[in-house]
C-alpha cells in the first residue's frame, strides 16, 4: 500500500476501533497505540526516509492532517465518555436524601446546671461572685479555722503548687475573700472549679462546687433551712423533702449535711421491688454540707461580733447526676458528643 493510503487508512481504522471503546482507560491505550512515540503514526513516518525527497513535503502534510484527525476523533470520544459518566452519576444521585447538618456547639451540661442552680439563689437576692483557683493556704485553710496542724487538713487531698500556694480544694476560700472585700450584710453565691488529688470511678481531680454565704444581723439556722428548702424544691420539684443530719466542718458550728428524698425510688428505698441503687435503700441522698458560720471565721475577717451567718457548699456534678439520673461521673469530662447533645 502506498504511504498516503496507509495514512488515510489509519484514520479509518482509528474510527472503527473507537466505536468499541466505552472506558477512559481503553481510550488512552488506543491513543498511545495510534499517536504515541512508538505508535502506528510514528511507525509510518519512519518510512519517510525511503521516499523520494520531492514527495516528502506532501506526505508530511498528510501526516499532520492524519494526526489532527485522529486526535479530534479521540478527544470527541473522551468527551462522550465523560458526559455519559456524569449522567450515570446524576441518575444515582437522590436529591430527596436529607443533607448533612453542621454540628452545632452548645453549653456543657455542667455549665447549664451551674447557671440553673445559681439562678435560683440569685432570684433570692444572692450575688454571684468568683475567686482564684490558685489559692493561698491562708484563704483555703487558715482563715477557715483550719490552722497548719489542724487534723481537718488531712481530710483534703491537696494539690500544692508551693508549700503555701495550692489549687483550691473547695470554694469556701471565696467566703473569706468576699467578707474581706465588703462589710455585712452579705449574700453571695460562688460557682467554680475545685481540685483534689483523687481519681477513681466516683472522684475526678477537678470538679465543680457552689458555695453560698449569707451574713447579717439575726441570721439563724431557720433561715438556712428555708433557703435550702426553696432551692431544693426549685431544682428537684416541689414534692422533694429535705433533712438535716448533724455533721462537722471546721468553719461552721453547728454543721449539718443535707439529704433530699431520693428521686429514683421516691424515698421508699426500693424500685419495683428491687433495692434502690441510688440511695442504697435509705430513701435519702446527701447533696450538700452547711452550717452556721463559726465565730473564729468572723474573727479572721474582722467582722463585728453581733453578726451571724450561714454557709453551704455543694458538688455540681453530684447534683447534676441526681437531677438527670446520670450514673457515671466520667460522662462530664469525656466530651462524648452523644452525651453533650442531650443537653442542647
In the complex, what is the shortest distance from the CB of residue 292 to ligand DAH, in angstroms, rounded to a whole number? 8
Under 8 Å between Cβ of 208 and 114: yes
| Closer residue to ligand DAH, CB minimum distance, 11 or 174 | 174
Binding footprint of ligand DAH, residue count (CB under 6 A): 11
Find the binder of ligand DAH among 59, 290, 300, 320 (CB under 6 A).
Answer: 290
Strand order of the sheet with strand 134-136? 134-136, 165-167, 159-160
Closest residue to ligand DAH in the complex (CB): 313
User: What does the alpha-carbon distance between residue 191 and residue 212 come to, in Å, rounded to a whole number?
Assistant: 9
Region of 2-10, 108-116, 219-227, 284-292 interacting with ligand DAH (CB under 6 A): 284-292
Reduce the DSSP state of residue 300 to 3 states and report it.
helix
Strand (E) or helix (H) holding 62:
helix 56-92
| Closer residue to ligand DAH, CB minimum distance, 35 or 118 | 118
Angle at 286 between CA 280 and CA 287, to 5 degrees: 140
Reduce the DSSP state of residue 64 to 3 states and report it.
helix
* Per-residue binder mask for ligand DAH (CB under 6 A), 106-135, x = binder: ------------------------------
Under 8 Å between Cβ of 107 and 135: no
Q: Based on the shown chain and the rule CB under 6 A, indicate whether residue 289 belongs to the binding site for ligand DAH.
A: yes
What is the CB neighbour count within 10 angstroms for residue 49? 8
Q: Based on the shown chain and the rule CB under 6 A, indicate whether residue 210 belongs to the binding site for ligand DAH.
A: no
User: What does the alpha-carbon distance between residue 167 and residue 194 come to, in Å, rounded to a whole number?
Assistant: 7
Region of 30-38, 234-242, 310-318, 321-329 interacting with ligand DAH (CB under 6 A): 310-318
Positive or negative: CA dihedral 143, 147, 152, 156 = positive
User: What does the alpha-carbon distance between residue 76 and residue 69 come to, in Å, rounded to a whole number?
Assistant: 11
Find the binder of ligand DAH among 121, 207, 231, 249 (CB under 6 A).
Answer: 249
Q: Based on the shown chain and the rule CB under 6 A, indicate whether residue 140 belongs to the binding site for ligand DAH.
A: no
Q: Based on the shown chain and the rule CB under 6 A, indicate whether residue 158 belongs to the binding site for ligand DAH.
A: no
Region of 12-20, 146-154, 297-305, 309-317 interacting with ligand DAH (CB under 6 A): 309-317
Find the binder of ligand DAH among 139, 141, 312, 332 (CB under 6 A).
Answer: 312
Region of 49-57, 85-93, 288-296, 326-334 interacting with ligand DAH (CB under 6 A): 288-296
Under 8 Å between Cβ of 13 and 43: no
- Picking from 237, 280, 286, 234, the residue whose alpha carbon sits closest to that of residue 258 is 286
Residues 6 or more apart from 83 whose CB is under 8 A from it?
none
| Closer residue to ligand DAH, CB minimum distance, 252 or 261 | 252
State how far the alpha carbon of 191 is from the alpha carbons of 72, 115, 134, 213, in Å: 76, 9, 15, 12
Q: Based on the shown chain and the rule CB under 6 A, indicate whether residue 252 belongs to the binding site for ligand DAH.
A: yes
Find the binder of ligand DAH among 31, 170, 177, 318 (CB under 6 A).
Answer: 170
Reduce the DSSP state of residue 284 to 3 states and report it.
strand
Region of 27-35, 85-93, 307-315, 330-338 interacting with ligand DAH (CB under 6 A): 307-315
Q: Based on the shown chain and the rule CB under 6 A, indicate whether residue 311 belongs to the binding site for ligand DAH.
A: yes
Q: Based on the shown chain and the rule CB under 6 A, indicate whether residue 291 belongs to the binding site for ligand DAH.
A: yes
Distance of CA 181 to the CA centre of its chain: 36
For ligand DAH, the binding residues (CB under 6 A) are: 170, 172, 211, 249, 252, 289-291, 311-313
Amino acid at each position: 500500500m502506498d504511504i498516503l493510503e496507509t495514512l488515510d487508512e489509519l484514520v479509518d481504522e482509528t474510527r472503527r476501533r473507537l466505536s468499541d471503546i466505552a472506558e477512559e482507560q481503553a481510550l488512552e491505550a488506543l491513543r498511545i497505540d495510534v499517536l504515541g512515540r512508538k505508535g502506528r503514526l510514528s511507525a509510518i513516518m519512519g518510512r519517510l526516509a525511503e521516499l523520494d525527497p520531492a514527495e516528502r513535503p506532501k506526505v508530511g502534510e498528510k501526516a499532520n492532517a492524519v494526526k489532527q484527525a485522529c486526535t479530534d476523533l479521540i478527544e470527541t470520544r473522551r468527551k462522550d465518555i465523560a458526559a455519559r459518566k456524569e449522567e450515570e452519576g446524576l441518575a444515582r444521585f437522590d436529591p430527596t436524601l436529607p443533607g448533612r447538618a453542621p454540628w452545632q456547639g452548645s453549653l456543657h451540661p455542667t455549665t447549664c446546671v451551674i447557671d440553673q442552680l445559681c439562678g435560683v439563689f440569685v432570684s433570692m437576692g444572692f450575688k454571684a461572685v468568683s475567686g482564684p483557683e490558685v489559692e493561698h493556704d491562708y484563704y483555703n485553710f487558715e482563715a477557715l479555722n483550719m490552722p497548719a496542724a489542724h487534723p481537718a487538713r488531712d481530710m483534703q487531698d491537696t494539690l500544692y503548687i508551693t508549700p503555701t500556694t495550692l489549687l483550691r480544694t473547695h470554694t469556701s476560700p471565696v467566703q473569706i475573700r468576699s467578707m474581706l472585700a465588703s462589710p455585712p450584710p452579705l449574700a453571695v453565691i460562688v460557682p467554680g472549679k475545685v481540685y483534689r488529688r483523687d481519681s477513681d470511678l466516683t472522684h475526678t481531680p477537678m470538679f465543680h462546687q457552689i458555695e453560698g454565704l449569707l451574713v447579717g444581723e439575726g441570721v439563724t439556722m431557720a433561715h438556712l433551712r428555708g433557703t435550702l428548702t426553696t432551692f431544693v424544691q426549685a431544682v428537684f420539684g416541689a414534692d422533694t423533702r429535705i433533712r438535716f443530719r448533724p455533721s462537722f466542718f471546721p468553719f461552721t458550728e453547728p454543721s449539718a449535711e443535707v439529704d433530699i428524698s431520693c428521686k429514683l425510688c421516691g424515698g421508699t428505698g426500693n424500685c419495683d421491688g428491687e433495692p434502690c441503687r441510688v440511695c442504697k435503700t435509705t430513701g435519702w441522698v446527701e447533696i450538700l454540707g452547711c452550717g452556721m458560720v463559726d465565730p473564729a471565721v468572723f474573727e479572721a475577717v474582722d467582722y463585728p461580733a453581733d453578726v451571724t451567718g450561714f454557709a453551704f457548699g455543694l458538688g455540681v456534678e453530684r447534683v447534676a447526676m441526681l437531677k438527670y439520673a446520670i450514673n457515671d461521673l466520667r460522662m462530664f469530662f469525656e466530651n462524648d458528643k452523644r452525651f453533650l447533645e442531650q443537653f442542647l
